[in-house]
A and B are shown apart, each in its own frame.
Chain A
Amino acid sequence: EIVLTQSPATLSLSPGERATLSCRASQSVSNYLAWYQQKPGQAPRLLMYDASNRATGIPARFSGSGSGTDFTLTISSLEPEDFAVYYCQQRGYWFITFGQGTRLEIK
Chain B
Amino acid sequence: QLQLQESGPGLVKPSETLSLTCSVSGGSINRSSYYWGWIRQPPGKGLEWIGSRYYSGSTYYNPSLKSRVMISVDTSKNQFSLKLSSVTAADTAVYYCARREDGYSAFDYWGQGTLVTVSS
Contact = CB atoms under 8 A, between A and B. Distances in A.
A60 interface: no
B63 A87 contact: no
A49 B103 CA distance: 11
Interface string A94-106: 1111111100000
Interface residues of B, number: 21
Interface residues of A, number: 28
B106 A46 contact: yes
B52 A96 contact: yes
Contacts of B55: none
Given A94-B60, A95-B60, A44 B104 contact: no
Interface of B: 37, 39, 46-49, 52, 60, 62-63, 96, 100, 104-108, 110-113
8 contacts: A34-B105, A43-B112, A44-B47, A46-B106, A51-B105, A95-B60, A96-B49, A98-B49
